[in-house]
Amino acid sequence: MDPVVELFNIIFSFWGGLAVVLLVLLKTSIKFVPQNRAFVIERFGKYRTSLTAGLNFIMPFIDRIAYDRSLKEQAIDVPSQAAITKDNIGLTVDGVLYMKVLDPYKASYGVEEYGFAVTQLAQTTMRSELGKMDLDKTFEERDILNAAIVSAINDAAMPWGVQVLRYEIKDITPPRSVLEAMERQMKAERDKRATILESEGERQSAINVAEGERQSVVLAAQAQREEQILKAEGEAKAIELVAEAKAAALTKIGEAAATEQGQKAVQLALAEQAIVAKQNIAKESTIVLMDGESNDAGRVVTEAVAVVTAMNKSEAFNPVKGAN
C-alpha cells in the first residue's frame, strides 16, 4: 500500500475517532432540565449542585445525575387506618395529602423516600389528632382536623425539603353499632323537630284564631257603641224636635188664648174635658156620689165655665195682669 494513502487513512481515522469522542463528550455534558423539575448532580459520589429548568452543563464521566426530583404538586393517597377518638370510639379513616418538593437537596439526602415518609407521618398525625376529639367533633370540625394535621406534618417534614399544602379526609367510617345508634339519634332528632314544628303551627293557629276572635269582639263592640251613640243622638234629636214642636204649639195656643175667641175656645175645651172626666169616673167606679143637680149636663158646663172664668181673673193664670 502506498505510504501516503496509509498516512491519510491514519489521519482520517484519528480525526474521525476524535470527532466521535467529542460528540459523545458533548452529548454527556449537555443536560436539558424540563420545567418544574430539578436534577441533583454528584461528583465522585459527593453532592455538587442542583440543576434547574433549562440548558445546563456537567463534566462528562465525572459528574452524574444522582436524583431527578419533580417540583410539581403531588397527590399522595393515605391508606385507610384505624383510630380511636377521645370518647373511645374506633374509626376507620383514609385521606389524601397534597405536597410539593421545595428543596431537592433535602428531599434527596434528608430522607430515603420522602413520599413514604410523609404518608407515614400523616397516618400517625391523624391518629394523634383524632385521639384529641370526640366522635361528634370529627364530623363537625373536619376542616379544623385537616388544618391541624397539615401543621403537624409541616413541622416534622421541614428537614426533608417538602411542604404539605393541604390534607383532606376522604372518609370516616365508625363501627356498625355506632352507625345504628347515630341513625336512631338522627331519627329521634327529626321526630323531635317535626313535633316542635307541628306544635308551633298549632300554637300559631290558636293565636291567629284568638286574635281574630278578639278583633271580631272589638269590632262588634265598636259597632254596638257607634249604634248606641247614633241611636242616642237620634232620640235626643227626636226629643229636641218634639220639645220644639210642643213649645211652638204652646206658643201658638198661648197666642190664640190671649184673644177673646181663644178664651171661649179654652172654656169650651175645659168643659168638654170635665164632662169626659166625669164619664170616665162613672165607668171605672160602681158607686158615684153626686148631688142631685150634678147629673145635669148644662150645670156641668156652667161649672166648667165658671172655673175658667175664675182662672182668667186670677193673676197667677193671667200673664197680662201679672205683668201689670
Q: What is the dihedral of CA 20, 22, 28, 34, to 10 degrees?
A: -100
Residues 6+ apart with CB under 8 A from 147: none
> Which is more confidently placed, 181 or 105?
105
214-230: average pLDDT: 85
Minimal CA–CA distance to 184: which of 151, 176, 252? Answer: 176
The answer to whether residues 21 and 62 belong to one domain is yes
Most confident of 156-165, 267-276, 313-322: 156-165
Query: Which cell numbers in the block locate residue 44?
Result: 465522585
pLDDT tens digits, residue range 120-142? 888 888 888 888 888 878 877 88
For residue 274, the model assigns a pLDDT of 67
Residues 6+ apart with CB under 8 A from 79: 94, 119, 123
- CA geometry: angle 146, 148, 151, nearest 5 deg: 110
> Which is more confidently placed, 142 or 17?
142
**Which of 235, 256, 277 finishes a domain?**
256
- DSSP assigned state of 44: T
Q: State which residues form the domain around 150.
A: 74-174
- CA geometry: angle 136, 141, 145, nearest 5 deg: 115
The answer to whether residues 88 and 46 belong to one domain is no
pLDDT band at 271 (very low <50, low <70, confident <90, very high): low
For residue 324, the model assigns a pLDDT of 43
Other residues' Cβ atoms within 10 Å of the Cβ of residue 95: 22
The answer to whether residues 82 and 166 belong to one domain is yes
**Max CA pair span of the chain:** 212
**Which of 48, 70, 92 finishes a domain?**
70
CATH number of the domain that 168 lies in?
3.30.479.30
Q: What does the alpha-carbon distance between residue 172 and residue 80 come to, in Å, rounded to a whole number?
A: 9
13-42: average pLDDT: 79
pLDDT tens digits, residue range 272-312? 776 776 666 666 655 544 554 444 555 655 665 565 565 55
**Which of 142, 174, 206 finishes a domain?**
174
For residue 323, the model assigns a pLDDT of 42
The answer to whether residues 79 and 168 belong to one domain is yes
> Which is more confidently placed, 93 or 262?
93
What's the domain count of the chain?
Answer: 4
Reduced to 3 states (helix: H, G, I; strand: E, B; else coil), residue 180 is helix
The answer to whether residues 27 and 63 belong to one domain is yes
Q: For residue 168, list its beta bridge partners.
A: 96
Of the candidate ranges 8-22, 193-207, 243-257, the one whose mean pLDDT is the lowest: 8-22
162-177: average pLDDT: 85
> Which is more confidently placed, 292 or 235?
235
pLDDT tens digits, residue range 68-100? 898 999 999 888 888 888 888 888 888 899 999
pLDDT tens digits, residue range 240-261? 888 888 778 777 776 766 666 6
- CA 62 to chain CA centroid, nearest Å: 73
The answer to whether residues 216 and 262 belong to one domain is no
Reduced to 3 states (helix: H, G, I; strand: E, B; else coil), residue 24 is helix
134-152: average pLDDT: 84
Contact 90, 140 (CB under 8 A): no
Backbone angles phi, psi at 172, to 5 degrees: -120, 115
Contact 167, 97 (CB under 8 A): yes
Please state, rounded to an integer, the average pLDDT across all residues of the chain. Answer: 78
The answer to whether residues 170 and 181 belong to one domain is no
